[in-house]
Amino acid sequence: MGAAIKSTISNEYLPNWQKITELVHLSREIDRVEVEDLVPSRQMFYQFSAGGHDVAQMILGGQLNHKHDAITGYYRSRPLLLNFDVKLDDVIAASIFKNGGYSDGRDIGHVFNHAGENGPSALPMCGGVGAQFTPAIGWAQAIEYHSKTLGNKAYQGAIAVAHGGEASCSTNGFWSAITIATTLNLPIIFYIEDNGYGISTTSDFQTPGQNIAANLASFKNLHILDGDGTNLSETAALTYEAVSHARSGKGAVLLRLTVPRLSGHSAQDTQAYKPAEFIENEKKRDPLLKLEQFVKSEIMSPEEWQQSQFKATNMVAKSLKSAQSRSDLNPDLLTKFVFSETDETGQYIAAKKGGLLAAGDKFLPARTESDSQGPRINMIKAIRQTLDFELKSNPKMMLFGEDVGAKGGVHAVTAGLQETHGHNRVFNTSLSEEGIIGRSVGMSMAGLLPVPEIQFRKYADPACEQLSDIGTVRWRTGNRFAAPMVVRIAGGFFKCGDPWHSQANEVQFLHAIGWRLAMPSNAEDAVGLLRAALRGDDPVIFFEHRSMLDHAWARRPYPGDNFIVPFGKAKTITKGDDITIVTWGAMVERCEAAAKVSGKQVDLIDLRSLSPWDKDAVLSSVKNTARCLIVHEDNITAGFGAEISATIMSEVFMDLDAPVKRLSMPDIPSPHAPSLLDVAVPSVQKITDKILEITSF
Ligand SMILES: Cc1ncc(C[n+]2csc(CCOP(=O)(O)OP(=O)(O)O)c2C)c(N)n1
């Protein structure tokens, strides 16, 4: 067992040096086998050794012992993972294209995940440097929510750890996370291992003076710890202090440890850019040498040390054999788990972490029939009423974004909800879309239902990396993790346009993997689609069109508290045999007006949701009318109309009597002046002209 180390901070903590030794031996042996055998024989492609970082990681790993602790790591975090209850066979299988592992061959072996059932979890890693920080914030905020708002004592004392190298401290995600952690006093450790290089780039490019801890010394609410990650007693003491600080509710910690990188950035990297002297010095700093010296003098005999090495060699050899004998990957499963899936009884196949089932809430049965009796309300009120009811029904739901609190959002949609549901459930955030969306990842994986708001469509851009990673998480972890959430985004033109507040660009999310997208044209559909999103098990973009929020045409009676519009079901607004018009969002009202003006019998289809979109409704209508016009607000090139048109061509080409036409904005940003906007956005006149052109073809 452990021996007391000299600590300037506390004598309470006794690291289990024997276990640390065994795990470091194991980690080094996996590295050795990978570098000497698996990479050269092309059984694996990507290898990132953590040699030099590993001893410090084992010291930290030994202290992550709370059931609800979680780490977000990066490709050099595998030693930390070895502290959790993962199977060694899985660790090895993950890299060599065999079934099992953490992703069934879908992701790089070092890009791991681990859904700890009774111990810590490793949230799914991302290949993007810096993407690990804001999801860890979400986990930390979820710990607070579970323990303080929901009163679940099991979360008390849990922490999140975000692990990165010094170069990752230059990223947007890092700064966003630091702001949130320190303004909210969250239980999180920023655990930074500084090896002085980001691939070949020296750390003087990352922060002046090359020490992020020194530069953050005056940051309020951030406890800074800085030391030598090869000095065992110092590392153990600093790590203990970091963990104790975060666990005791005192707020966020940044722990920076300097370590050598004893190999290239990856197995292919020759390190030709490092001076030979520097490499020699790194070898001398190898913390394993120091560990050997220390444990042999105080804890293990030389024979026991050797036995630990043999044990690691045998374990890795055995696991490698077992991993190699696993079945090969099944290409038939390649497209499984892009979205949530249901079993034969209609129940969701639960992800191990994240999702509706984890939330475990029971809802009244949904109705697809509106029981609308009341007055016509605008879309703002309809969305607000739906959010209000769902917040009441689901204690795990949280609503947040810039200005959504006391002001009720810049579009007034969330007005009054903070008063009703409290500051823990409806709250303002810092101005960081990366932070708004990134934290939603950790919250969702912790079993909550985040409903973040993005103020204007264009301002989702800073969150692009998180959005794209969220969509792929279920697939890349083979359904081990999912991150369902409902991202409310206001966008599209209003009375005037402009390049910043008036973009639609919904197609970007349709090209992204794993997102559902709804774009309602009216208040009734907004209620039904939003409720379907909030009770579904996938990430959803819910597009609130600015010009429809208070449009008279879009006002409808509230259709009831359990009214749902299933995704992928279009609505036929008018029936006709002359031409099919396919449209959505703000264009529906204009198309309806144009249909009337044209005097033609128009089969007008409002798609309502674009992922999935109702192909059957479109194809069967076109089969009947033989003519089709697609109208959208988004730009023409690679707009969603191109997808619909291509589908019609390939599925029902022989039924057509005229070419399929698209009408949209030209390829320009939205213009500000109303006179220019009128020309840019498809008008009733332009739509009418197109109807007549196509019907007279
Ligand atoms: C967003 C992003 N940009 C670039 C890369 C390519 N890249 C991978 S690792 C790396 C250097 C990271 O260095 P650091 O964070 O210090 O960690 P270390 O590898 O030194 O442990 C770069 C540039 C990436 N993966 N993600």
Q: Which domains does the chain have, with CATH numbers?
A: 17-324 (3.40.50.970), 356-557 (3.40.50.970), 572-695 (3.40.50.920)
| pLDDT at position 365 | 66
Helices (H), 145-231: 172-184, 212-215
Predicted TM-score (pTM) of the model is 0.96
| pLDDT at position 345 | 80
| Ligand 1 atom closest to 169 (CA) | 15
What is the per-residue pLDDT across 542-594, written as a single tens digit (0 to 9) for each?
A: 999 999 999 999 999 999 998 999 999 999 999 999 999 999 999 999 999 99
Summarize the confidence of residues 186-205 as an average pLDDT: 98
**Ligand 1 near 73 CB (within 6 A):** no
Summarize the confidence of residues 85-96 as an average pLDDT: 94
Helices (H), 16-153: 17-33, 54-61, 78-81, 88-93, 133-144
Phi-psi region of 360 (alpha: psi -120 to 50; beta: other; left: phi over 0): left
Active site residues: 501
| Ligand 1 pocket mutation, candidates 75, 77, 199, criterion most atoms within 8 A of CB | 199
Q: State whether the Cα torsion 332-337-342-348 is positive or negative.
A: positive
Helix then strand count (H, E) for the chain reads: 23, 22
**Ligand 1 near 51 CB (within 6 A):** no
Distance CA 514, CA 481 (A): 13
| Ligand 1 atom closest to 48 (CA) | 19
Ligand 1 center–CA 166 separation, angstroms: 9
Residues in the chain: 697
Ligand 1 center–CA 130 separation, angstroms: 8
Q: State whether the Cα torsion 84-320-129-276 is positive or negative.
A: positive
| pLDDT at position 622 | 98
111-115, long-range: CB < 8 A, 24+ apart: 111/75, 111/476, 112/73, 112/77, 112/78, 112/81, 113/477, 113/480, 113/481, 114/81, 114/84, 114/86, 115/352, 115/353, 115/480, 115/481
Distance CA 116, CA 122 (A): 7
Ligand 1 center–CA 204 separation, angstroms: 15
| pLDDT at position 9 | 41
Q: Whose CA is nearest to atom 21 of ligand 1?
A: 165
Ligand 1 center–CA 125 separation, angstroms: 13
| pLDDT at position 626 | 98
Six token digits for residue 164: 């990165």
**Ligand 1 near 166 CB (within 6 A):** yes
Burial 48-65 (b: 16+ CB within 10 A, else e): bbbbbbbbbbbbbbbbbe
What is the per-residue pLDDT across 362-385, written as a single tens digit (0 to 9) for each?
A: 556 678 888 777 999 999 999 999
**Ligand 1 near 48 CB (within 6 A):** no
**Ligand 1 near 265 CB (within 6 A):** yes
Where residue 344 falls among pLDDT bands split at 50, 70, 90? confident
Where residue 346 falls among pLDDT bands split at 50, 70, 90? confident
In this predicted structure, the answer to whether residue 192 has a pLDDT above a threshold of 60 is: yes
Ligand 1 center–CA 46 separation, angstroms: 14
Q: Whose CA is nearest to atom 25 of ligand 1?
A: 128
| Ligand 1 pocket mutation, candidates 54, 129, 170, 271, criterion most atoms within 8 A of CB | 129
Q: State whether the Cα torsion 549-550-554-560 is positive or negative.
A: positive
| pLDDT at position 408 | 97
In this predicted structure, the answer to whether residue 695 has a pLDDT above a threshold of 50 is: yes
Instruction: Indicate the helix (H) or strand (E) that contains 358.
Output: helix 356-359
**Ligand 1 near 129 CB (within 6 A):** yes
**Ligand 1 near 427 CB (within 6 A):** no
In this predicted structure, the answer to whether residue 338 has a pLDDT above a threshold of 60 is: yes
- Higher-pLDDT residue of 1, 632: 632
**Least confidently predicted of 91-100, 255-264, 589-598, 643-652:** 91-100
**Ligand 1 near 2 CB (within 6 A):** no
Sheet holding 449-454, edge to edge: 426-428, 397-401, 449-454, 486-491, 540-545, 516-518, 609-611
Ligand 1 center–CA 453 separation, angstroms: 30
- Report percent pLDDT > 90 for the chain: 91
**Ligand 1 near 168 CB (within 6 A):** yes
Distance CA 126, CA 371 (A): 45
Ligand 1 center–CA 575 separation, angstroms: 56
What is the per-residue pLDDT across 28-69, written as a single tens digit (0 to 9) for each?
A: 999 999 999 999 999 999 999 999 999 999 999 999 999 999
| pLDDT at position 348 | 80
| pLDDT at position 361 | 47
